[in-house]
A and B are shown apart, each in its own frame.
Chain A
Amino acid sequence: MNARPAPVELPPLPVIDPGTTADLIVAFIRSQMAQTGFARLVVALSGGVDSATVAFLATRAVGAENLLAVRLPYRASSADSETDALRVVQALGCPTGIVDITPMVDPLLALMGDAQEGDALDAAAQVRRGNVMARQRMIVLYDKSVEFDGLVAGTSNKSEALLGYGTQYGDMAAALMPIGDLYKTQLRAVAEHLGVPAEIVAKPPSADLWPGQTDEGELGRTYEDLDRTLFALVDRRWTVDRCVAAGLEADLVEWVAARVARMEYKRQMPPVAKISLRTPGIDHLYPRRRPGSRRAT
């Protein structure tokens, strides 16, 4: 009678209506295009669900002919990634291009004296390799964006952004972030609604930086657990104690809470030392798109 019953249900996943969400994101993209004076978009297509979803949303917003899907494989990338990226291109009928980043990445890593493939890589070396690849992709993507005259649509989602699971100035670099406020589990629902090929929605998420890598393996948790926890901590502002009392594992909740706090720096512009009367970002505050900011046509 005095014993508290164990909670039978974990805190919920953040459920959304994928149709409404997709419509709003499409309207967001169109508004960004109108405000910047651009008509085209560029997206790096990895074969995963995030970039596939962005490509589908972009196609709805600007039309397939105005989307350039760039495939940027490294020699260690999985063959499935390329197959799945081509599935998306085929489904959408958008222009595409491929640039193998291996001849850029490998000499750079050699030059930096980094451990090469085959060596046992320690965690720091793994991270450095991953960052180099992500930033190399960014360089190619931004160059393609000038050639194609498009804006770079980012593919980061909310789960990644909160956990800081991304490379600054690498995959996190973009002109706009269509899916930046969607948790991974919400994103899958939107992807299904948009008709992203089922194989892509179903496969384990991976940064594909080395063979066999998966997000969930690397993070040590499933996205379901992560999203449940993030939704409780971030959106509902629950305390760690309350999350644990509601049935989430203490290890998980503490790890997520600490990680969200530690990665705050990745979600903000760097702080500027305030010297003058008026400082960009502190008291020089304007909407990003305003009269005069649209490029000349």
Chain B
Amino acid sequence: MEVRIALAQLAPHLGELDANLELVTARLAEATADGADIVVFPELALTGYLLQDLVPEVAIRADDPRLLGIGADAPDVMVAVGFVEETRTRRFCNSVALLRGGRLIGLHRKVYLPTYGLFDEGRFTRAGHQIRATEVGDPLHKVGLSVCEDFWHPFLPMLQVQDGALLLINVAAGPARAPGSAAGLAAIGGWHKMQETYALLGTVAIAFCNRVGNEEGLTFWGGSRLLGPDGSVLAEAPLYEEAMVMGVLETDDLRMQRYNLPVVGDERLELVRREVDRIIADRAGIAPPPDQASDGEGDAPAVPAARQPEREVEPA
């Protein structure tokens, strides 16, 4: 079965919610007219990126009618769009909504807020606390939503794959650094390698929509891509320019890829959990979980004292 996925690589207006709602609505109409089943907009498409203290001025609730109205007239089309969310407890998050037919069917709050180098997100927005895949029904079953930097933490997409996602949607606002140099190409190349690796290891399709345009001195690089579950590129938008690209995901390919390369189904989450629990306990200096190290071949050899990892208590 074919799923047509459109990537709306646009340049939002900084701080102008109404103008961006118009822009998103117009692009969405184009994409649905072209037969898109899923339309993906960039990170903070409704607000722009370098908001600083504008955050509370442009924040909306996830049940805001202006948000739910996006694509409400196209009941079969799924829309992923980034916005500043004000939660019920008045936290301000960099979120991505998944909408269908006027309903919010999925929501992800950016978990990893880059606050280093040219980024200062942790100063103005709060981190999300959940990594889930969203039920969307056949043929994709579940979709994993994430925002830009989230993808630099491989546990996140891989957890979403284990949670059942057949498609990962990453919305981004990636600023170009050293454009037109080897270093700049390497930075974009890093994103490419990452996407191809996740697609391959997760046998999962990936829709990456990165914005373009300028804010203050920043230039956002675009280059949105749709990848098949073998890491192949199904659609790709140009660098730096506004564009709408569409690619077709054939779910039969996904099915056979998962049969040929059944690594996702073979994952040993119980081992992952045990070792993660151990590492967490060790780092936090709390009592380790009961020793479950038996692998059925008798007791594991005792670890010499000198090799005990140092306890390093990290700040919360």
Cβ B180 vs Cβ A287 within 8 A: no
B176 touches A286 (CB 8 A): no
Contact among A18, A30, A291 for B180, CB-based, below 8 A: A18
Query: Judging by beta carbons under 8 Å apart, are B181 and A17 in contact?
Result: yes
CB distance from A286 to the nearest CB of B (A): 5
Nearest opposing residue in chain A for B16, CB measure: A291
Q: Does A286 lie within 8 Å of B240, measured CB to CB? A: no
- Given A290-B54, A291-B16, A24 contacting B181 (CB threshold 8 A): no
| A15-B181, A18-B180 as given contacts; A290 in contact with B14, CB under 8 Å | yes
Contacts of A28 in B (CB 8 A): 214, 217, 219
Q: Given A24-B219, A31-B213, A31-B214 in contact, is the A286-B180 Cβ separation under 8 Å?
A: no
Contact between chains at B240 and A289 (CB < 8 Å): no
Residues 15-50 of chain A, each 1 if its beta carbon lies under 8 Å from chain B, else 0 = 111111101100110111001000000000000000
Given contacts A24-B219, A27-B219, A35-B14, A287 and B54 within 8 Å (CB-CB)? yes
Give chain A residues whose Cβ lies under 8 Å from the Cβ of B216.
287-289
With contacts A28-B217, A28-B219 taken as known, whether A287 is within 8 angstroms of B179 at the C-beta atoms is no
- What does the 1/0 interface line of B39-56 toward A look like (CB < 8 Å)? 000000000001111100
Neighbouring B residues of A18 by C-beta, 8 Å: 180
Shortest CB–CB separation between residue B286 and chain A, in angstroms?
A: 36
Chain A residues contacting B217 (CB-CB under 8 Å) are 28, 181
Report B225 CB to chain A, min CB distance, Å.
19
Neighbouring A residues of B178 by C-beta, 8 Å: 16
Taking CB as reference atom, which chain B residue is nearest A186? B181
- Residue from the list B50, B52, B53, B181 in contact with A14, Cβ < 8 A: B181
A287 touches B213 (CB 8 A): no
* Chain B nearest CB, measured from A285 CB (Å): 4
Q: Is the CB of B53 within 8 A of A285?
A: yes
Give Cα distance in the complex from A19 to B181, angstroms.
11
Q: Which residues of B contact A289 (CB under 8 A)?
A: 14, 216
B interface, how many residues as a size bin? 20 to 34
**Contact indicator A287/B52 (Cβ below 8 Å):** yes
Most chain A CB within 10 A, of B16, B52, B180, B182, is at B180
Mask: chain A, 271-297; 1 = CB below 8 Å from B; 0 = not? 000000000000011111111000000
Instruction: Name the CB-closest residue of B to A180.
Output: B217
Does B215 belong to the interface (CB within 8 Å)?
yes
Contacts of A16 in B (CB 8 A): 178-181
**In residues 30-86 of chain A, which contact B (Cβ within 8 Å)?**
30-32, 35
Say yes or no for B15: interface residue by CB 8 A criterion.
Answer: yes
Which residues of chain A are near B50, meaning CB under 8 Å? 287
* A292, B52: Cα distance in complex, Å: 15
Cross-interface CB contact of B53 among A21, A23, A35, A284, cutoff 8 Å? A284
Report the Cα distance A27→B51, complex, angstroms.
Answer: 20
Q: Shortest CB–CB separation between residue B177 and chain A, in angstroms?
A: 10
* Contact, CB under 8 Å: B215 / A21: no
**With A and B bound together, what is the CA distance between A269 and B217 in angstroms?**
17
Q: In the complex, which residue of chain B has the Cβ closest to the Cβ of A288?
A: B216
Please, which residues of chain B bring their CB within 8 A of the CB of A287? Answer: 14-15, 50-52, 54, 215-216
Chain B positions within 8 Å of A288 at CB level:
216
- Whether B180 pairs with A21 at a CB distance below 8 angstroms is yes
Residues 204-250 of B at the A interface (beta carbon under 8 Å): 213-217, 219, 240
B16 — which chain A residues lie within 8 A by C-beta?
Answer: 291
User: Are the CB atoms of A291 and B15 closer together than 8 Å?
Assistant: yes
The chain B residue sitting closest to A293, CB to CB, is: B15
CB distance from A148 to the nearest CB of B (A): 24
Interface residues of A in 245-291 (CB under 8 A from B): 284-291
Q: A287-B216, A290-B54 are in contact. Are A21 and B182 (CB under 8 A)?
A: no
Chain B 173-191 near chain A by CB (<8 Å), digits 1 or 0: 0001011111000000000
**Chain B residues, Cβ within 8 Å of A23:** 240
The CA of A31 and the CA of B50, in the complex, are separated in Å by 14
Query: What B residues does A24 contact at CB under 8 A?
Result: 176, 179-180, 219, 240
Closest to B176 in A: A24
State how many angstroms separate the Cβ of B179 from the closest Cβ of chain A.
5
Collect the chain B residues with CB atoms within 8 Å of residue A19's CB: 180
**Residue from A15, A181, A285 in contact with B182 in the complex, judged by beta carbons closer than 8 Å:** A15
A15 to B184 alpha-carbon distance, docked (Å): 11
Contact of B52 among A17, A21, A32, A286 (CB under 8 A): A286
Q: How far is the CB of B209 from chain A (nearest CB, A)?
A: 19
For window 161-207 of chain B, which residues contact chain A by CB distance below 8 Å? 176, 178-182
Q: A20-B180, A289-B216 are in contact. Are A27 and B53 (CB under 8 A)?
A: no
When the two chains form their complex, are residues B219 and A20 in contact, meaning their CB atoms are under 8 A apart?
no
User: Which residues of the other chain, A, contact B15 by a CB distance below 8 angstroms?
Assistant: 287, 290-291
**8 pairs, A vs B, C-beta closer than 8 Å:** A14-B181, A20-B179, A24-B179, A27-B240, A28-B217, A181-B217, A289-B14, A291-B15
6 additional A-B pairs beyond A24-B176, A291-B14, beta carbons within 8 Å, are A21-B179, A24-B180, A28-B219, A285-B52, A287-B216, A289-B14
What 7 A-B pairs come out closest when comparing CB atoms? A20-B180, A17-B180, A31-B214, A285-B52, A16-B181, A21-B180, A291-B15
